Chains A and B, each alone.
Chain A
Amino acid sequence: MDLPTVWFCVIALLWLGYLFLEGFDFGVGMLLPILGRREEERRVLINTIGPVWDGNEVWLIVAVGATFAAFPPWYAGLLSAAYLPLLLLLLVLIGRGVAFEYRGKVDTARWRRAWDIVIVLASWLAPMMVGLVLTATVFGLPIDVDGNRVGGPLVILTLVNVVGALAFWGFSLLHGALFLSLKTAGEVRERARRIGLQWGLPLLLPTVALVLAAQVGQGHAWTWIPIAVAGIVSVLAWWCLHRWREGQAFALQGIGLAAVVVALFGTLWPNVLPSTLDPTWSLSIEGAASSPYTLAVITWVAAFGTPAVMVYQGWTYWVFRKRIGTHHIPAVHAPS
């Protein structure tokens, strides 16, 4: 495998890490008003992701930064074409990050309610924007020969891209419910499990539609394999959840996500950003890649850096592995 293809795979891997990790912390934010009926329950929810959400978000930053380094025209073309959705993504990520940090720093109901609204709104909108932009790179955008967008700021709002937005939104919600059933104790855990059991299928429907659309439109024969895997493990995940094996259900759901990412990036290959106007204007892996020297440099960095990241982030999850229940939550301690 040549270096550009390696980096295409690395970027797919970084996106997988991001979708898996921030997927569940988006889901926790979405479920805040649904599962967190009392203040202590809402704090249980937020604290399941407290130590890790910031590290999860860095996967996005690295996925985008790696695209800049390895495929500058892809980075430039996609980000400038998707200007408004990305602006909205940035605004809600700003609000969401600050909200987690600031929510408990003043002890009044009004203060907390205001930040809860920010968390929920951001957690609903952010995965939609991520889904929209990622789907747009798989199915292509109206870009001209120079890689610049042709048409207005809203040309990205095609039917399939909207389905993609809903797909990551639904996945995140379900993923968050599974994560919470694994990480919490008491009533929250039971409610989270029930959501997973009752809403699992409807929440994954847009993902099914998205993957099939990609396969029918631009798939290769081999991409049927990950699609089949995704289908099978999703059913198994549901079964495990039913049998109260929440850890296995969560892991299987993760494998399902990996299979979907492989299928989607597989159908995108050998392009990185197809042009919907003229196939010869599409950005391909070979055409958009940086020079062999640059790729070699970042390959060294990634080869040593990425495993280290996985080790110490994995360690964080181990340190904070205990389930959290309302009885673990300390009294609010803020200046009066």
Chain B
Amino acid sequence: MDPLDIARWQFGITTVYHFVMVPLTIGLAVLVAGMQTAWYRTGNRRYLKMTKFWGKLMLVNFAMGVVTGIVQEFQFGMSWSAYSRFVGDVFGAPLAMEGIVAFFVESTFLGLWIFGWDRLSKGVHLACVWAFSLATVASAYFILAANSWMQHPVGVEMVDGVPRLNSIWAVLGNNTALAAIPHTVLGCFAVAGAFLVGVAAWKIHSRHRAAPALTDPAADEDTREDRKLWHTSMRLGAWVGVVAFAGLAITGDFQAKLMFQQQPMKMASAEALCHTEQPASFSVFAIGDVARPDCENVKSFTVPYVLSYLANGELDSEVKGVQELIPEYQERFGTHYPDDPALGKMAGQPIEYVPNLPATYWGFRFMIGFGSVAAAGAVAVLWLTRGGRFPRWRGWPLLAVASIATPFLGNIAGWIFTELGRQPFVVAPNPDPSGVDGVWMFTAAAVSSGVSGGEMLTSLIGLTTVYAVLAVVEVFLMVRFIRGGVESVMPPEKGEDDDDDVLSFAY
């Protein structure tokens, strides 16, 4: 196998896997901080129990996010050394900033939070969880600023054929980044919201089937309190899901408009829009083969005017299609890769300017589709559980558990779309006249030329194997803690004659 293909597969797999772990951590961290704040303000033990329970699940997941994140940072140098040399002057800065400003805070204050329950005053302990959770959001900001630069390079000038940073504010304030950050962070909240709903619905179903109404007079105080805890968690999750989706729709629309300007080929591919249209229709779904850029054999169900509106905010504007964009790209960047041995099997080959059409077309649809399903589910939950109700239908907790997957799938689809849609470029060229000319790089030119295919294959196999095993372990642990409920995360109450020296928490 060609090193380029393996390096791309490895980057894709490790990045998607990392981004399955990270959104749940970010979303849960902020929600747990909120729960602990509620406990701090009201003294209500229900919020303490919620903090401990959801906090424990967050920790089980956090470990995986951290360890898979290290791979990401090393991978640029190991597998993509040509890329690292080309963009290091600008791309390395947000990465270093993430480490110094965000990652140190995250890891240090998380340790203080986990082990500090009886060592720190309540207020300081609460500040630790906020420091941790806000730092996870700050991390996301720096990483997305770096990623957005690859989608829309700004703040640089070309010196001796290499982009050199001339404004860090342009990079950190890149409009692509400012659109991507709220969209991605809201995606994290959608994930955490669905997780709360699914888990809490399951808990209510498995423990309180006999008492569907919150006000059942037959139940004793403990049972009722337990029931209330899950009910509060479930409603919180559903509200978070609904609000997150509303935000996702707004930021997604804003992001799409930017993308039509900055990466027209990506959006044309997302729509399988083969020929320029005016006004352009939005394709809801397609039957047939969307892989061919000439659009034969495709029957697409469309809504007129919507794509024009998505692209420019006007109902009858022109949107360029794939067929018209190809010659524009060929004119600017050539029809063939340079005949340079560093490009491996791509040397001298014709350049394919259209990204993988099925992946971009369906990636875009799955992102929106799964997000909408999650949002509809959250609205349904809010309606069905109003006033302490809990539906008697046996199938619905299963449905709630299954729907945990929907925002995850939406996130994954979104990333696959946004990264594959950039191909064949690793640093996408800037069509925007205000952008810097000449700042772009082919993915084929970015791979490490000193590294053999065997090494890459070893790491692809090694990492995917370890990732697969750990995914099983994480799910196993999550299920155990969910089954164990609040009792399994609250330390037993200390008796009068217990030794005060015993730590409140230890590994």
Residues of A within 8 A of B71 (CB): 90, 94
Asked if residues B96 and A91 are in contact (CB atoms below 8 Å), the reply is no
Asked if residues A291 and B164 are in contact (CB atoms below 8 Å), the reply is yes
Contacts known (A55-B111, A65-B99, A95-B466); A101 close to B459, Cβ less than 8 A = no
In chain B, positions 72-86 with a C-beta closer than 8 Å to chain A are: 73-74, 76-79, 81-82, 84-85
Contacts known (A65-B96, A297-B93); A72 close to B85, Cβ less than 8 A = yes
- Chain A residue with the shortest CB-CB distance to B94: A69
* A103 to B120 Cα, complex, angstroms: 25
Stretch of B293-301, B315-323, B447-455 lying at the A interface: B447-455
Stretch of A144-152, A160-168, A223-231 lying at the B interface: A144-152
Contact pick for B77, options A47, A76, A291, CB 8 Å: A76
Number of interface residues of B (CB under 8 A): 85
* A60 to B107 Cα, complex, angstroms: 13
Asked if residues A298 and B63 are in contact (CB atoms below 8 Å), the reply is no
Contact pick for A305, options B81, B101, B119, B483, CB 8 Å: B101
Asked if residues A72 and B78 are in contact (CB atoms below 8 Å), the reply is no
- Chain B residue with the shortest CB-CB distance to A330: B502
In chain B, positions 86-101 with a C-beta closer than 8 Å to chain A are: 87-93, 95-101
A216 within 8 A of B: no
Stretch of A81-89, A194-202, A205-213, A274-282 lying at the B interface: A81-89
B393 within 8 A of A: no
- Chain B residue with the shortest CB-CB distance to A82: B78
Asked if residues A290 and B503 are in contact (CB atoms below 8 Å), the reply is no
Residues of B within 8 A of A43 (CB): 506-507
Residues of A within 8 A of B454 (CB): 153
Contacts known (A312-B108, A313-B104); A70 close to B504, Cβ less than 8 A = no
Bitwise interface map of B from 116 to 131 toward A, beta carbon under 8 Å scored 1, else 0? 1001100000000000
- Chain A residue with the shortest CB-CB distance to B78: A79
Residues of A within 8 A of B451 (CB): 80, 83, 149, 153
A301 within 8 A of B: yes
Contact pick for A76, options B84, B103, B109, B168, CB 8 Å: B84
- Chain A nearest CB from B361 CB (Å) reads 34
- Chain A nearest CB from B1 CB (Å) reads 16
* A163 to B385 Cα, complex, angstroms: 66
B409 within 8 A of A: no
Asked if residues A62 and B103 are in contact (CB atoms below 8 Å), the reply is yes
- Chain B residue with the shortest CB-CB distance to A321: B119
- Chain A nearest CB from B468 CB (Å) reads 12
B256 within 8 A of A: no
Asked if residues A291 and B159 are in contact (CB atoms below 8 Å), the reply is yes
* A105 to B477 Cα, complex, angstroms: 8
Contacts known (A54-B107, A105-B60, A291-B164); A298 close to B97, Cβ less than 8 A = yes
Residues of A within 8 A of B69 (CB): 61
In chain B, positions 168-190 with a C-beta closer than 8 Å to chain A are: 168
- Chain B nearest CB from A298 CB (Å) reads 5
Asked if residues A94 and B70 are in contact (CB atoms below 8 Å), the reply is yes
Residues of B within 8 A of A147 (CB): 81, 85
* A246 to B96 Cα, complex, angstroms: 35
Asked if residues A64 and B74 are in contact (CB atoms below 8 Å), the reply is yes
A33 within 8 A of B: no
Asked if residues B480 and A106 are in contact (CB atoms below 8 Å), the reply is yes
- Chain B nearest CB from A242 CB (Å) reads 29
B305 within 8 A of A: no
- Chain A residue with the shortest CB-CB distance to B159: A291
Asked if residues A320 and B74 are in contact (CB atoms below 8 Å), the reply is no
Contacts known (A66-B96, A80-B451, A297-B93); A75 close to B77, Cβ less than 8 A = yes
Residues of B within 8 A of A57 (CB): 70, 107
Residues of B within 8 A of A336 (CB): 484, 488
- Chain A nearest CB from B341 CB (Å) reads 12
Asked if residues A335 and B108 are in contact (CB atoms below 8 Å), the reply is no
Asked if residues B484 and A335 are in contact (CB atoms below 8 Å), the reply is yes
Residues of A within 8 A of B488 (CB): 333-336
* A90 to B68 Cα, complex, angstroms: 9
* A317 to B101 Cα, complex, angstroms: 20
Residues of B within 8 A of A222 (CB): none
Asked if residues B92 and A290 are in contact (CB atoms below 8 Å), the reply is yes
Contact pick for B99, options A52, A61, A297, A331, CB 8 Å: A61
B481 within 8 A of A: yes
* A101 to B65 Cα, complex, angstroms: 12
A36 within 8 A of B: no
A327 within 8 A of B: yes
A158 within 8 A of B: no
Residues of B within 8 A of A305 (CB): 100-101, 104
Asked if residues A102 and B491 are in contact (CB atoms below 8 Å), the reply is no
Which of B93, B449, B462, B485 has the most chain A CB atoms inside 10 A of its CB? B93
Asked if residues A148 and B455 are in contact (CB atoms below 8 Å), the reply is no
Bitwise interface map of A from 300 to 324 toward B, beta carbon under 8 Å scored 1, else 0? 0110011001001100100110001
Bitwise interface map of B from 453 to 495 toward A, beta carbon under 8 Å scored 1, else 0? 0110011001100100010010001001101110010011000
* A149 to B87 Cα, complex, angstroms: 20
* A100 to B507 Cα, complex, angstroms: 7
Contact pick for B63, options A66, A75, A98, A293, CB 8 Å: A98
- Chain A residue with the shortest CB-CB distance to B88: A72
Asked if residues B504 and A330 are in contact (CB atoms below 8 Å), the reply is yes
* A316 to B484 Cα, complex, angstroms: 31
B436 within 8 A of A: no
Contacts known (A52-B111, A293-B166, A329-B506); A80 close to B448, Cβ less than 8 A = yes
- Chain A residue with the shortest CB-CB distance to B96: A69
Contact pick for B164, options A61, A73, A90, A294, CB 8 Å: A294
Contacts known (A76-B82, A106-B477); A46 close to B459, Cβ less than 8 A = no
Contact pick for B502, options A98, A149, A329, CB 8 Å: A329
Asked if residues B165 and A291 are in contact (CB atoms below 8 Å), the reply is yes
Contacts known (A68-B84, A68-B88, A333-B488); A47 close to B506, Cβ less than 8 A = yes
A270 within 8 A of B: no
B286 within 8 A of A: no
Asked if residues A54 and B77 are in contact (CB atoms below 8 Å), the reply is no
* A78 to B78 Cα, complex, angstroms: 8
Contact pick for B104, options A55, A102, A105, CB 8 Å: A55
Residues of A within 8 A of B89 (CB): 72, 290-291, 294
Residues of B within 8 A of A306 (CB): 100
Asked if residues B107 and A58 are in contact (CB atoms below 8 Å), the reply is yes
* A312 to B135 Cα, complex, angstroms: 14
* A67 to B159 Cα, complex, angstroms: 21
* 16 A-B residue pairings within 8 Å (CB atoms): A55-B107, A65-B96, A70-B92, A80-B450, A83-B448, A87-B458, A94-B466, A97-B63, A98-B473, A147-B85, A148-B449, A316-B108, A319-B116, A319-B120, A330-B502, A335-B483
The 3 closest A-B pairs by CB, nearest first: A72-B88, A335-B484, A79-B77
Given A61-B103, A291-B89, 19 additional A-B pairs, CB 8 A: A50-B111, A57-B107, A64-B74, A65-B95, A69-B95, A72-B92, A79-B77, A83-B455, A86-B78, A98-B64, A104-B507, A148-B449, A149-B451, A290-B165, A291-B165, A301-B100, A302-B100, A334-B488, A335-B485
